[in-house]
Amino acid sequence: MLQKPFIIAEIGVNHECQLDRAFKLIDQAVEGGADAAKFQTYKAIDLARTDSPSYWDLKKEKTKTQRELFKKFDCFNLEDYVEIKEYCSKKGIEFMSTPFSNEAFEWIDPLVSRHKLSSSDMTNVELIEKMINSNKPIIASTGAANIQEVDELVETFSKVEDFTLLHCMLSYPTKISDANLVNIRFFKERYPNIKIGYSDHLTSRYIHALFSSYVLGATVLETHFTDDKKALGNDHYHALDKNDLKVLVKWCSDFSNAYGAIRDSFFNCEKVSRVQARRSITSKVNIKAGDILSFDNLTLKRPGDGIHPNRLKDLCGKLAKSDLSEDSLIPDYWLD
């Protein structure tokens, strides 16, 4: 059986500064079958300059600067994340949070069992060093990177025992024609010694593409998660909800079970049909002892519980050793 993917429900800031809503989203992530509930930890002042422009679809999220948008959702403090972590533990789902500053890292490092590096921080050498020194598993996204930068990132994390590289498109939402899922195969071939995954920014109508990333070899699937896909702003419009997540988990489970093994013999489930659906050498007409066997009085019929069809030519020209009625199995001793 193929290992099932590790599925991260990226709640991010879809809690919209409401702790109760964060708990509700965790509940729904559990119900949907996610392995981890991930948040984002930052303070807007540490993340973007005042004049930092948007890079998202302004028809969906009308906030025009990064500082203004991020300021809306940097409301949780350390005590809040401790509560969220405890709630995740209570519900049996792993707590994760992407830190976007050194201070954010210090907050969440004691609370998480693995770290996630955002695509935007591929060049954040201080944060990367802190993650490496934590001696914890690391997952890193590669959105907006060229191959030289990805090579450098892989080399930087080469000493990390458990490292996963995620294909990612830093485009919100990603058009299906821009998904470039071929990079999953490419990364697996280029970096054979590390795990490869996929961080998804497609809308939920393309859940089949997210599933396809697993078929292509992604072992970690990260997808934005919401309790209301019609909610205005930020990450709701390109997120999955609990019902979408259930579909994804079911598809991945089915594929895991269906993957099976390479055919080097017939499988146990085919044992009966292997005999019943194949053919044996059978009498075409009534045969008398001493008749010359030929294509005129021999044929091939199911089941395959007698002489193998490839011995038909060996029988032709021999003499029948006993009487045999039409539509009967040719005895093995007639070959002698």
Asked if 57 and 69 touch (Cβ cutoff 8 Å), the reply is: no
pTM of the model: 0.90
Q: How confident is the model at residue 278 (pLDDT cuts 50, 70, 90)?
A: very high
148-153: Cβ within 8 A, 24+ apart: 149/122, 149/123, 150/187, 153/122
| First-residue to last-residue Cα distance in the chain | 46
pLDDT of residue 327: 98
| 47 CB-near residues (< 8 Å, 6+ apart) | 66, 67, 70, 74, 100, 101
Residue 128 has pLDDT above 90, yes or no: yes
pLDDT score, position 60? 74
pLDDT tens, position by position, 85-109: 999 999 999 999 999 999 999 999 9
Domains of the chain: 6-259 (3.20.20.70), 269-335 (3.90.1210.10)
| Segment 159-201, tens digit of pLDDT | 999 999 999 999 989 999 999 999 999 999 999 999 999 999 9
Q: What is the pLDDT of residue 73?
A: 82
User: Sorting pLDDT into bands at 50, 70 and 90, what band is 244?
Assistant: very high
Q: Whole-number mean pLDDT of the chain?
A: 95
Euclidean distance between CA atoms 330 and 336, whole angstroms = 12
The pLDDT of residue 1 is 80
